Amino acid sequence: MIARTLTSHLLAAAGRMPVVAVTGPRQSGKTTLCRATFPDHEYVSLEPLDTRDFAVSDPRGFLAQYGHRVILDEAQRAPDLFSYLQEEVDRDATPGRFILTGSQHFGLSESISQSLAGRVALLHLLPPSLDEVHRFADPPGDLWTTLWTGAYPRILDRGLPPREWLADYTATYVQRDVRQVLQVTDLDTFTAFLRLAAGRTAQEQNLSTLGADAGVTHNTARAWLSVLEASFVVFRVPPWLRNVRKRTVKAPKLHFVDSGLTCHLLGIHEPEQLRTHPLRGAVFESWVASEILKARLHRGLPSDLFHLREARGAELDIVVEAGRQIIAVEVKSGATVAPDAFRHLEGFARLAGEAAPHLEPLSRVIYGGDTPQRRTGAEILPWNSIQEVAWG
């Protein structure tokens, strides 16, 4: 197991709260992290039917057996248990008693909001960030191999072929989760929807066209996308609306969490194919957005990622509210920085001063090259330095 950035924040949360919940996509390393961080806790998975039946049919007996210090894996499988967890922590609020993990954020968040509000710390673990990827024994070395491989720990730890593992992952986890939640019966249509969504990564969300292209209704597209987001397959970046101009486009941007999964869904079978693919810029932008998201979530910070596009004016790929700073990010997949990379950044200081005068504006360009630069008005970061700067 590699060291994970979230570890210190997980320990701190367990030192304050009786319940800590760690959510994230399947196979992101939640169980491994929690078991390594809390080796003296008993471990119980609620995936097996017999264990789950025990927790559901006799919750008090279940907690009497496991209720001292325990890791409850896939806790959303037994949502009724949370009411009894509330009883337990109200009786004995010893910090760190219960460590919960879950791969469906909506399952845990709904149960937490109903039963454990004020008693639980909620943390998120995504697949490893770039600095964590480099802690594996043989990490990818160049940009396109890094993007094509993705960051799921099992691929990196065991040297598994990404194409084959991601195909199994899609069938075993992504489709199964959606099927369980929404009772999807037409997997061919859902798979087509998933691939079409991957083709729209780093684009503004348009449910009508996405649904029409997949042959489903607008409402079905909305429901399927919501489950993909709740399962941490995708995330949506809302528009930055501190600027209240009516010309501001208000649609969120869609991003896939893992670039390797995106490449698999797009039918990109090798890194060299990605190098010349028409969507390489979109895949790279989503990777950058995901890396910034990881940098914040793995430090216990809220997402606070946005984008900005005016109908006739500024267009910024990513806007990050980071403490007293507001960071504008332009993403360019090329190995050199062209002059147009600064076109939308030039007016950002003025725009930020009007909309959020209490925040210090900072501009960054992240590109596919290897050399950092410092230019007037903007910091130029190569892709492999993205985790070397502060994002919060």
Mapped onto helix, strand or coil, the DSSP state of residue 236 is strand
Return the CATH number at 103: 3.40.50.300
Residues 89 and 137 in one domain: no
Q: Report yes or no on 293 lying in a domain.
A: no
What pLDDT score was predicted for residue 247? 47
Cα 251 off chain centre by: 19
Question: Do 120 and 134 fall into the same domain?
Answer: no
All residues at 6 or more sequence positions from 11 whose CB lies less than 8 Å from its CB, including other chains: 37
Summarised one tens digit per residue, pLDDT across range 207-266 is: 999 999 999 999 999 989 998 998 899 999 999 876 545 445 688 999 999 999 999 999
Closest CA relative to residue 148, chosen from 48, 283, 8: 283
* Residue 82 host element (H or E): helix 81-91
Same structural domain, 212 and 88: no
Task: State whether 163 and 273 are in the same domain.
Answer: yes
Q: Do 109 and 134 share a structural domain?
A: no
* Domain, as residue range, for 136: 130-236+254-283
**Residues 115, 168 within the same domain:** no
Pair (62, 43) in one structural domain: yes
Q: What is the pLDDT of residues 36-69, one digit of tens each?
A: 999 999 999 999 999 999 999 999 999 999 878 9
Say if residues 376 and 364 touch (Cβ distance below 8 Å). Answer: no
- Counting the structural domains of the chain, the total is 2
197 & 178 share domain: yes
Assess whether 147 and 117 both reside in one domain.
Answer: no
Beta carbons of 365 and 345 less than 8 angstroms apart: yes
- Contacts of residue 265, Cβ cutoff 8 Å, sequence gap at least 6: 170, 194, 195, 197, 198, 256
Contact 302/218 with Cβ under 8 angstroms? no
Residue 84 neighbours by CB under 8 Å, 6+ apart: 59, 60, 63
Rounded to two decimals, what is the model's pTM?
A: 0.94
